[in-house]
A = this chain, B = another copy of it.
Amino acid sequence: MAHENPGNHLIAIGTLARRTGVAVSAIRFYEEKGLLQSLRTAGNQRRFLRSDIRRISFILIAQKLGLGLKEIEEHLATLPQGRTPTVRDWERISSHMRERIDEQIDLLTRTRKRLDQCIGCGCLSLAKCALYNAGDKAAAKGPGPHMDL
């Protein structure tokens, strides 16, 4: 395929798009937002590092965990700029993700417990129920809207 240069560490935006499953427009958008950086050819075309594939994969995972692009950018900012991150770099950054996942599982587990407790009780208001619990407010940065339960 055109612009495909296997063995080269610099890849075109379309290649990056194909390798990550993300739309070209989204990649440009991420770059604009500072989540990615690119070099330019003499003809003004973007060239990415191969390691940006992983960078984008990270973005996708983090999004699934409910992080906004701003937060994700902060995480990614701790990776080396311009050079390919090492395994150690990725380990550090992904351990945050692991914590995040654990938190979310916790929150879901609690929500399930409370749902079971609450449905079936006579009250109409979750505010009176165990389901409404101040403890959740802190943990409530997860998926969905930012409205506190």
Contact = CB atoms under 8 A, between A and B. Distances in A.
A14 interface: no
A123 to B, nearest CB: 8
A57 B96 CA distance: 31
Nearest to A122: B87
A116 B97 CA distance: 10
* Residue among A22, A115, A142 facing the most chain B CB atoms (10 A cut-off): A115
Interface stretch (A35-43, A75-83, A125-133): A125-133
How many subunits of this chain does the assembly comprise? 2
* Residue among A119, A125, A132 facing the most chain B CB atoms (10 A cut-off): A119
Contacts of A91: 119-120
Interface in A97-149: 97-98, 101-102, 104-105, 108-109, 111-112, 115-116, 119-120, 124-127, 131-132, 140, 142-145, 147-149
